[in-house]
């Protein structure tokens, strides 16, 4: 694929990769305009002038586009870094054998305007990030989904979805929102990783950011300044904005989904203002009918580890939803979705061998099955190479290793866990952080590696 003098892909090639590799379906015309012109360095104002759309509409499309790409790629995407993030994803795909190279070959031909005659579309897509609602790769974990679909229809409902990273929380949340939409509900979802650190460090800025983004999700013109009152304070102003503007304007149930809520645990000032606000809105459904229209989904990776009054916490009310790992039967079912013949030939043996290494972790299982569906890649080879830097989990493991090495407490703690012959005790905040990464399991204050893959890899790397 051609690159410019700076070693980057052309704007059109980035657009092609996003449409054919990253996303389950092509961007619409206005999304393509925003992406293409953003890559060219245009501001939203310049994009609006050249496309005949309003500046507000362009901002809304841009916000939703970066949020969509962030969820799919499992990494924060902005106007400034979209080029580098897409290049990194392409590099990861081209490192895979052998069908991924077929994919990149097809992209090269497409960028030249050619149609390959002997290249087959890879199906299903490489796992990672959000699983689209219509994807056959989503494996239900009954009765989890049905329970969520029923609960979200209850006036004033609050669902708390908790699981370590890459367990399928966002994919479940997306299905709940889709179900709510079929009932005629409005939906809005915010990923708190999209908030800049400067915003997360200031309660007033954060609550304004929150109100503006929910408004845009609902195609409402933000009216924050009309409702913000310094004498009343940010929390009351935010509540007034929701009650007097958002809920009044839509006049029907609103499902508000908040992803990666645990990110604000690192910002206690904001957390101690915002989290009690969610609890207050939940309780207001018992006092004012209009608040019954607000249904909340709070998605987080670990238990709360900041001081918070029990009577103000949203994490001890509503309905808790904890995502379990895949069962043996679910792993075998997913193998069938990837076209493997495990259902006919030693299904239990093959699935158990894989699960002995990675447990029932959805992402780790899916990544393995994706590779096993490729020609000339055996389970024996996968198991042998998996805990090494060059195995299929190399990028995933290195990302965790880098995060651990940046924090001496986490490094010391995980080293203790993977080298111990039995479970260990850890300081609670450190344990919660490792738990959110999915590296450990906690049972009755005893801690051990969440799977053999992590034990083998980190024991080798940290020694």
How do residues 313-340 score in pLDDT, each as one tens digit? 999 999 999 999 999 999 999 998 888 8
Three-state DSSP at 403 gives helix
pLDDT of residue 344: 63
In a domain, 150, yes or no: yes
Domain boundary among 62, 91, 111: 111
Half-sphere exposure of 101 (CA within 13 A, CB side): 5
- Could you tell me if 169 and 257 lie in one domain? yes
Asked whether 212 and 199 are in contact (CB, 8 A), the reply is no
- Could you tell me if 154 and 259 lie in one domain? yes
In a domain, 356, yes or no: no
Number of H helices, E strands in the chain: 22, 7
Half-sphere exposure of 242 (CA within 13 A, CB side): 29
Residue 421: which CATH number? 1.10.10.10
What is the rounded CA–CA span in Å between residue 258 and residue 19? 26
Residue 269: which CATH number? 3.40.50.300
- Could you tell me if 261 and 402 lie in one domain? no
Domain boundary among 306, 322, 338: 322
How many independent structural domains does the chain possess? Answer: 3
Torsion, Cα 208 213 215 216, to 10 degrees, reads 140
In a domain, 116, yes or no: no
Two tokens at 24? 């389950």
Q: Domain limits at 403?
A: 395-462
- Could you tell me if 161 and 267 lie in one domain? yes
Two tokens at 382? 């996968």
- Could you tell me if 29 and 81 lie in one domain? yes
Two tokens at 104? 């990149």
- Could you tell me if 63 and 192 lie in one domain? no
pLDDT of residue 25: 64
In a domain, 30, yes or no: yes
What is the rounded CA–CA span in Å between residue 235 and residue 310? 18
Phi/psi of residue 147, each to 5°? -65, -40
In a domain, 345, yes or no: no
Low-confidence stretches of the chain (pLDDT beneath 50): 1-6, 96-123
- Could you tell me if 314 and 431 lie in one domain? no
Domain boundary among 322, 341, 366: 322
User: What are the C-alpha distances in Å from 83 to residues 7, 12, 97, 113, 128?
Assistant: 11, 11, 24, 21, 19
In a domain, 182, yes or no: yes
Element (H, E) at 357: helix 347-358
Half-sphere exposure of 382 (CA within 13 A, CB side): 28
Task: Tell me the pTM.
Answer: 0.75
In a domain, 344, yes or no: no
Beta pairing, strands 254-259 & 294-300? parallel
Torsion, Cα 260 265 270 275, to 10 degrees, reads 70
- Could you tell me if 156 and 217 lie in one domain? yes
In a domain, 277, yes or no: yes
- Could you tell me if 254 and 177 lie in one domain? yes
- Could you tell me if 168 and 97 lie in one domain? no
- Could you tell me if 18 and 105 lie in one domain? yes
Angle at 395 between CA 353 and CA 94, to 5 degrees: 100
- Could you tell me if 183 and 235 lie in one domain? yes
């Amino acid at each position: 694929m051609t690159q410019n003098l700076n070693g980057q892909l052309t704007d059109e090639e980035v657009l092609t990769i996003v449409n054919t590799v990253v996303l389950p379906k092509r961007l619409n015309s206005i999304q393509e305009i925003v992406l293409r012109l953003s890559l060219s360095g245009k501001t939203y104002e310049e994009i609006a002038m050249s496309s005949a759309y309003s500046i507000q509409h362009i901002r809304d499309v841009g916000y939703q586009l970066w949020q969509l790409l962030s969820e799919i790629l499992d990494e924060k995407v902005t106007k400034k870094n979209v080029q580098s993030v897409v290049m990194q994803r392409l590099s990861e795909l081209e490192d895979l054998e052998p069908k991924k190279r077929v994919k990149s070959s097809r992209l090269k031909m497409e960028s030249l305007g050619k149609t390959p005659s002997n290249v087959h579309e890879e199906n299903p897509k490489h796992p990672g990030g959000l699983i689209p609602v219509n994807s056959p790769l989503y494996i239900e974990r009954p009765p989890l989904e049905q329970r969520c679909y029923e609960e979200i229809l209850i006036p004033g409902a609050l669902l708390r979805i908790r699981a370590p990273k890459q367990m399928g929380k966002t994919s479940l949340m997306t299905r709940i929102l889709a179900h709510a939409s079929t009932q005629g509900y409005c939906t809005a979802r915010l990923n708190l990783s999209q908030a800049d650190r400067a915003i997360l460090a200031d309660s007033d800025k954060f609550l304004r950011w929150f109100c503006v983004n929910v408004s845009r999700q609902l195609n409402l013109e933000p009216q924050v300044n009309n409702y913000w009152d310094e004498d009343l304070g940010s929390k009351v102003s935010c509540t007034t904005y929701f009650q007097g503007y958002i809920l009044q304007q839509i006049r029907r149930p609103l499902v508000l989904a908040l992803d990666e809520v645990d990110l604000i645990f690192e910002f206690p000032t904001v957390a101690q203002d915002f989290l009690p606000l969610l609890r207050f809105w939940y309780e207001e459904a018992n006092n004012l009918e209009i608040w019954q229209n607000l249904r909340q989904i709070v998605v987080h990776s670990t238990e709360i580890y900041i001081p918070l009054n029990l009577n103000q916490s949203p994490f001890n009310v509503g309905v808790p939803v904890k995502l379990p790992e895949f069962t043996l039967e679910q792993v075998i079912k997913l193998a069938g979705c990837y076209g493997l013949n495990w259902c006919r030939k030693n299904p239990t043996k093959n699935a158990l061998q894989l699960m002995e290494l990675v447990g029932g972790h959805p992402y780790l299982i899916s990544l393995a099955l994706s590779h096993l569906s490729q020609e000339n890649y055996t389970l024996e080879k996968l198991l042998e190479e998996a805990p090494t830097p060059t195995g299929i989990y190399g990028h995933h493991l290195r990302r965790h290793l880098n995060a651990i090495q940046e924090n001496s407490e986490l490094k010391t703690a995980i080293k203790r866990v993977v080298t111990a012959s039995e479970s260990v005790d850890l300081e609670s905040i450190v344990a919660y952080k490792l738990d959110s990464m999915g590296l450990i399991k906690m049972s009755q204050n005893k801690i051990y590696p969440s799977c053999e893959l992590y034990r083998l890899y980190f024991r080798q790397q940290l020694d």
